[in-house]
């Protein structure tokens, strides 16, 4: 398996990172430990995405017929990593997840309306998957969509909908048929959050500082033109989108940046008059962490060179390894540095803008988002190892 980038790809990646660095230097763009989120939840971060669009860096791997450049997924990977390494917002759900789904499953009208806006960073998306009784087992969702004339009536509740409080459109999974297997009868809709009556959004704050939301839909009517994909085939669309999400939302660059900050601290700090870097216990911890970070990078890159089920398995492995590495990194770093790693951005004596404290809180969230790691291990077992489904 070849993990090397071509000279052309490396040169493009260098240009992308230089451009990202320039755009991320503007006030309000950098991710701070106090807020913790890499989503585009402020005007400043949204402006960063507009800058990326102006620079021609969004949707480079999309097919040319839908406005992309038709380049390989390697270039999306390089851009995602550049944003992570430069502490900038993530490229986002529109480009990395929903746009791809619309390009593949959307109607001609949906493609014509949404895809140019996504490429120009003109709209933000919220994803409506989880419910009070349907999280990792997403096929158990209960929110109902019932035929009503030339449209649908939708009623029910969603939970953990990140971005709903600032998103423009809702990528919503509903139950349209409960008579058959639970994986069937799920249908997707695209809903305008700003203008559609009957939607109530209530904040839910996570321990990593990120705001997510509960969303209540009370007899919400949408036209059938807002149905996305074939009726009853939503779970297949969701599964494809989740494979995209497990890769695009877990860039290796965040782990690398944390490790680099830790290594810099070890190299430059003295304790009791002696350089920390000379302590054999510290050197052993740094070496072991270096191996794990390098392994995580290889997991991340493996998704690029695989296709179909193999890529889905690699994405599940990447998500599991990457998210659990955050927890391990904090354990190692806190053991070496001490209680300073528990200070947030605005605390006296904090380190690296509260970065080490942030990963302590964020590590828990990351093992749950985009499907819990237990679910990822099931995917690896069934698709990768061919083990039977539990009875």
Catalytically annotated residues: 245
**Distances from the Cα of 208 to the Cαs of 164, 212, 282, 344, 359, in angstroms?**
18, 11, 27, 11, 8
What is the C-alpha to C-alpha distance for residues 140 and 183, in angstroms, rounded to an integer?
8
Task: State the burial class of residue 151 (Cβ atoms within 10 Å of its Cβ: 0-12, 13-18, 19+).
Answer: middle
Among left, alpha and beta (phi > 0; psi -120 to 50; other), residue 18 is alpha
DSSP symbols for 74-120: HHHHHHHHHHHHTT-----HIIIIIHHHHHHH--HHHHHHHHHHHHT
Three-class SS of residue 203? strand
242 in Cβ contact with 378 (< 8 Å): no
Tokens of 387: 């083990």
What is the C-alpha to C-alpha distance for residues 95 and 69, in angstroms, rounded to an integer?
13
Under 8 Å CB-to-CB from 84, ≥6 apart: which residues?
A: 38, 90, 251, 252, 253, 254, 256, 257
312 in Cβ contact with 242 (< 8 Å): no
What is the C-alpha to C-alpha distance for residues 220 and 153, in angstroms, rounded to an integer?
5
What is the C-alpha to C-alpha distance for residues 267 and 356, in angstroms, rounded to an integer?
17
């Amino acid at each position: 398996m070849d993990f090397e980038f071509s000279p052309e790809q490396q040169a493009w990646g260098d240009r992308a990172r230089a451009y990202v660095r320039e755009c991320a230097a503007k006030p309000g763009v950098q991710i701070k430990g106090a807020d913790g989120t890499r989503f585009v939840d402020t005007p400043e971060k949204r402006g960063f995405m507009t800058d990326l669009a102006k620079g021609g860096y969004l949707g480079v791997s999309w097919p040319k017929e839908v406005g992309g450049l038709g380049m390989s997924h390697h270039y999306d990977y390089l851009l995602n990593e550049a944003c992570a390494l430069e502490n900038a917002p993530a490229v986002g759900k529109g480009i990395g997840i929903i746009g791809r789904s619309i390009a593949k499953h959307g109607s001609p009208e949906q493609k014509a309306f949404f895809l140019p806006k996504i490429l120009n960073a003109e709209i933000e998306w919220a994803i409506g998957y989880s419910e009070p009784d349907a999280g990792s087992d997403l096929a158990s969702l209960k929110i109902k969509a019932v035929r009503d004339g030339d449209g649908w009536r939708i009623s029910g509740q969603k939970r953990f909908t990140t971005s709903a409080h600032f998103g423009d459109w809702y990528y919503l999974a509903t139950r349209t048929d409960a008579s058959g297997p639970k994986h069937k009868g799920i249908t997707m809709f695209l809903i305008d959050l700003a203008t559609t009556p009957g939607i109530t959004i209530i904040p839910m704050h996570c321990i990593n500082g990120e705001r997510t939301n509960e969303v209540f839909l009370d007899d919400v009517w949408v036209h059938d033109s807002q149905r996305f994909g074939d009726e009853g085939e939503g779970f297949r669309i969701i599964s494809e989108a989740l494979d995209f999400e497990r890769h695009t939302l877990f860039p290796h660059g965040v782990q690398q940046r944390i490790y680099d900050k830790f290594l810099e601290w070890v190299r430059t700090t003295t304790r009791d008059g002696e350089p920390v870097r000379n302590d054999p216990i510290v050197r052993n911890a740094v070496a072991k962490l270096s191996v794990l970070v390098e392994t995580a990078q290889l997991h991340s890159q493996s998704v690029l060179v695989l296709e179909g089920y193999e890529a889905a398995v690699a994405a599940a492995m990447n998500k599991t390894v990457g998210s659990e590495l955050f927890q391990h990194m904090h354990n190692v770093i806190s053991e070496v540095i001490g209680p300073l790693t528990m200070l947030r951005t605005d605390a006296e004596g904090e380190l690296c803008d509260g970065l080490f404290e942030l990963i302590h809180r964020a590590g828990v969230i990351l093992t749950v988002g985009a499907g819990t790691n237990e679910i990822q291990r099931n995917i690896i077992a069934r698709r990768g190892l061919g083990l039977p489904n539990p009875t």
